[in-house]
Structure 1
């Protein structure tokens, strides 16, 4: 070839390049605003974003999607078909799916052969930065491509480019037309492995320019994954467990060595603390891998049972977290920074397990509450941070108590978080001892609340609250019994004015006080208490109780008699407030306790003489509305638990407070607390509409107590409550200004000790 012909060829190639560049720019110009040029190789999101920002219409008069058309027009200039015939829809979809595939998923066959089966422990090294998502079992990135047909290879060969194109030389129709299709049969596996990555290079296609163009969505195939076999999973679990036991033994050895001689052991430096934290972090990671592997979706039932069989959640908490936290706590304040670091580390791990291993959800929830309580306890500098972690811990414990309402341990933890609200602390401590699964360690913890009152230490409590707590401290401990009567008198003398002064603010105190008094009648869960023995016997018929056992029930201790006197005197003050709606939570809790005890005559016989039945009947008559409807009458006279006519039930705050106690075992329906999900912050939030529902509940309980006619009576014609002749006594100092039966619910509040102006 001569120099002239060579120069002419170069000049022609240069002009062709300039022409294609200009044509490329013109194709990338927006048809609606010619001043705007799309970037090179724009994505559909780029085109759609420009349409949104510029306010262009997405559809033309024929309802064609202009975003798709613009995007396809721009992409059409990059690769054109090799023939004059337009590509078929199948070819277009195939090309589009390949063009949009993630290049990271297209690897060589050699890469596929190196990939193992997916296993949970393969993510161990990916979660060191604390990212929760990195700890999930992930699909292997490289998977062997499925065998394709000869037609697919032929189609793929049309888009193969030799390396010369990568140097920047543009494709021309002449080159495409002269490129013969390569036979598929002669392609070896090695050739496939070498060609596949090049097939993943950016390729575009051009839709046929037809007026009846259909908008289609490009689908991307999901990468294939290899399921792990049962044998592989068992081997994985065994390997993880072997490593876990080794690390666990080392943690136990180190923790015991450091805890045995706190005074003689030298102080640890930062590097030593960091080494201990790294050791326990490794144990937590091993446990995490074990849980993911043993609870894998393809694991057999026997494999899933391993975690429970070997008590893995308890071992993780005991050896991986709690023992080291106690070591750090005993080395405070020198270990403060390291303790904070480890608490955050353990909290993140527990939160991850809560999300990924739901089998042991109850355990993770309680562990999260414990970690929040540790974090709260060591915060002395920032009061706001302390309140935040108190709220976090309370949230987890409340969530746990919803799942296990009969477990006293959780109420004990909530009592610790209730500081400095002594009344709420007393409520939670006593409740933790009067549930089917009591937390006996609370008998020691409750003394941290009682000791200051027994020792005469000055507190910041109101005098009436201090007197109430002090009376319970004496009843519980048996100390300072000479101060019991004076403490009860101080509380009783101030109670009426205190309720009148606090109005609606006394609603929560009402059920706190009533529940604490009920627990005192049970002698705070003492097994020797006659009522406790009657309740736990499970017998509600006198004929089934032997004479010897009945005599045992009838032999109350002095502590029980003092508690009964305390409760009866409080009832006499509160139940006199006939027109005060704010005492109805107190009435509700008291009636629920009495209704349950009425099924155990031996237990009821111990308290019936001291209960103010006449006051209860008068109070229930004031609760009964004058314009009572037929539907309301059916509700309160029915034997079934009152439920709302419409919608799901919404438990009252006093329902949540009583939940789990011994005397509400058969009170609430099974779905009462589960039919509607109530947030923790809203459980004890009083809504105005609740008062009417609470009133109906009290009337319903009154009717249930009146069915036997032994204590209360109910006249279905007059809709009035009364008492049996045995308890129809004259009430001393009863104000004559009592709201008459059937008075309106919105009548004025009557303060009994205020004289009537009309007299």
Structure 2
């Protein structure tokens, strides 16, 4: 957790909107639109539609003592034309006959049964006769009641006005002058709050252990102060990145390093203060992490201009949350997965940034082989993370010291061997003396290497498909050992790695470093020789497993490394004699026996029998020695979820065979 980088920007919390009880207001407004028209005193008295039969409804309503029976309409049989005898009541076949009352009387047609004829005035929509339909007793009662109280009811036009959907409110465009003034005002307030946060954090960090502890109210006040700063940053980003903002206004956030300032002063400094006050500050740290995480997620959604920064900061916050979880192992695993998701997403966008691979190495615990892969990758990319040279010792030291663990014996031997090589190559004895002599360390390295090689063949046979991913990790770690783990500077153990000096570009990026043949032949370091022998011995064991598809990822990685070095003639001169060519050829011939599309192998174009990258491709992506191996759009063709990158599909075996044969054919062309 101490390795979290303070130069990253985080997403501030957004302000909580202050919402009023709009729903209650709307209800009150609806009820009080026309008080004279309301028959019921409150909403609970409003009758609700029922699924009961009409007869049951009539009985229920007649039994209501508080309601006065409404007067029968004037067009009923009793009040109609008394000179005409009423028609006999018609009885429905589907229900029993009921005594006819004024409320159930059928109204007399206004036109004495006369149909509309041509020349008559057109009927209005309201007056048009409706088709006869069965109505419930309750509906009939309601219609009669409405007729008798028509004077107190709103007109149809008023009803339409009430029920009409309100359109979206009109918004007025904001001018550039208004935006500039808004941004200036926000920035002025932001600077004031930022200064106060820096002052408070610095004062608290400078206190010693004997200083009085902060009480709950004081912690809450500091959290509120940092929340305000995050709010100010959020407002600044929304205003400066407004769709109507000019390009100059949009550049202000980058010009003044606002994302980095927000992370450093708004989140990271306070998190470190909380971390050093653990366990007393645990609850407050949890509160602030959740606060900062939600704000960062909001910025990720609303300010896409700095999406890469927000993603990495979300990963950092997830890693903080994971690191302080000691009680619930499930919560720890959940937050580990959350942090890994964000870091993987960030590394997909910036595969040559070693810092992200370093963070993934921390999250890979307790899988030591995977940890070693990520640590070495963070040092062997175009933008290496130098701090990983110290962090990787947290992986090596417990194993080299023989601390008890539950790891497999072969994994311990493999990591131990690389630990000795790393210490002998990258640790300056003058600054950090060795615990043993160099000869003693080399002797222990030899024992670890021999143990690993003796267990390797049987381990592959037992692991079967489980060795697909492990094989790629082992191959990449071995290849990076040939670069002495990205050693580009001389130290007490020798000069910079000879391979690194030939493949790295000059500072201006236009020319390669000086060819080794133009100067005196450099002396190869002892570590480079041991790493070359380790690679050759491992290759010799694995390349002999003819017909085993589980070793194809390892073979894929090794051939990709050698193909890159073949294009760098000075580097290849140091590697060609430490590669088992005589064992590789029979392996490739066995793969090509049943392969039908030889024209694709001999093509100059990268084989793309499937649009989906192999799991090995994601592991190789970003390394110095995979430059120009893949097409520029290879990793953007198929949007694969982070959790699905390592899924091994049945079709991938044939795709991987084709890739291996294509690499072998390209490598043979350099001969």
Structure 2-normalised TM-score?
A: 0.73
Q: Partners in 1 of 2:265 and 2:529 — Cα distance?
A: 47
CA contact (8 A) 1:248 1:319 kept: yes
Alpha-carbon distance, 1:250 to partner: 0.3
Which 4+ stretches in 1 moved above 4 angstroms?
A: 27-37, 83-88, 217-220, 543-554
Q: Distance in 2 between matches of 1:30 and 1:204?
A: 26
The equivalent position to 1:678 in structure 2, one of 608, 626, 640, is: 640
Cα distance in structure 1, aligned partners of 2:254 and 2:308? 13
**Candidates 660, 669, 672, aligned match of 2:631:** 669
Residue in structure 2 matched with residue 100 of structure 1 by the alignment: none
Counterpart position of 1:511: 472
User: What is the CA-CA distance between 1:355 and the residue it aligns to?
Assistant: 0.5
Q: Are residue 242 (structure 1) and residue 188 (structure 2) matched?
A: yes
CA contact under 8 A between 1:258 and 1:265: conserved in structure 2?
no
CA apart distance, 1:265: 2.3
- In the alignment, does 2:577 pair up with 1:577? no
* 1:562 correspondence with 2:530: yes
Residue in structure 2 matched with residue 282 of structure 1 by the alignment: 228
CA–CA distance in 2 between the matches of 1:18 and 1:471? 88
Residue matched to 1:443: 389
2:275 counterpart (286, 308, 329): 329
Match of 1:410 among 356, 359, 375: 356
Distance 1:229-1:546 versus aligned 2 partners, 3 A rule: closer
Aligned to 2:431: none
* Change beyond 3 A, Cα 1:169–1:257: farther
Aligned with 1:597 (options 541, 565, 581)? 565
Q: Which runs of 5+ in 1 are unaligned?
A: 1-16, 20-26, 38-82, 89-167, 177-198, 207-216, 711-759
Query: Higher RCO, 1 or 2 (CA under 8 Å, sep at least 6)?
Result: 2
- What are the equivalent positions in structure 2 for 1:466-545 lying under 5 Å apart? 466-478=412-424, 480-527=441-488, 528-537=496-505
**Structure 2 CA distance for partners of 1:553 and 1:705, relative to 1, 3 Å:** farther
- Find the residue that maps to 1:437 and give its secondary structure: coil
Partner Cα separation in structure 2 for residue 330 and residue 537 of structure 1: 42
Structure 1 pair 87/267, CA: closer, same or farther in 2 (3 Å)? same
SS of match in other structure, 2:634? coil
**Is the Cα contact below 8 Å between 1:347 and 1:368 reproduced in 2?**
yes
Find out whether 1:316 has 2:277 as its counterpart. no
Instruction: Give the Cα separation in 1 of the matches to 2:38 and 2:275.
Output: 75
Equivalent residue, structure 1, for 2:584: 616
**Range 459-468 or range 326-335, more displaced:** 459-468
Asked if structure 1 preserves the Cα contact closer than 8 Å seen for 2:502 and 2:512, the reply is no
Distance 1:28 1:567, change over 3 A: closer
- The answer as to whether partners of 1:554 and 1:602 remain within 8 angstroms in 2 is no
Indicate yes or no: 2:656 matched with 1:691. no
Q: Distance in 1 between matches of 2:514 and 2:152?
A: 106
Q: Post-superposition shift, 1:29? A: 8.5
Q: Which of 586, 595, 601 is residue 636 of structure 1 equivalent to?
A: 601
d(CA) in 2 for partners of 1:306 and 1:581? 54
Task: Say whether the 8 Å CA contact 2:186–2:232 is kept in structure 1.
Answer: yes
Instruction: Tell me the number of residue pairs that the alignment of Structure 1 and Structure 2 aligns.
Output: 520
Cα 1:407–1:35 change in 2 (3 A) is farther
- Please show how residues 36-115 of structure 1 align to structure 2 within 5 Å: 86=124
Maintained 8 Å contact 2:502/2:514: no
Distance 1:234 1:34, change over 3 A: farther
Q: Gaps (5+ residues) in structure 2?
A: 1-36, 40-46, 58-120, 127-147, 425-433, 435-440, 489-495
Alpha-carbon distance between aligned partners in 1 of 2:472 and 2:223, rounded to the nearest angstrom? 45
Are 2:316 and 2:339, in contact at CA under 8 Å, matched by a contact in 1? Answer: yes
1:221 Cα deviation after fit: 3.6
The alignment's C-alpha RMSD in Å is 3.1
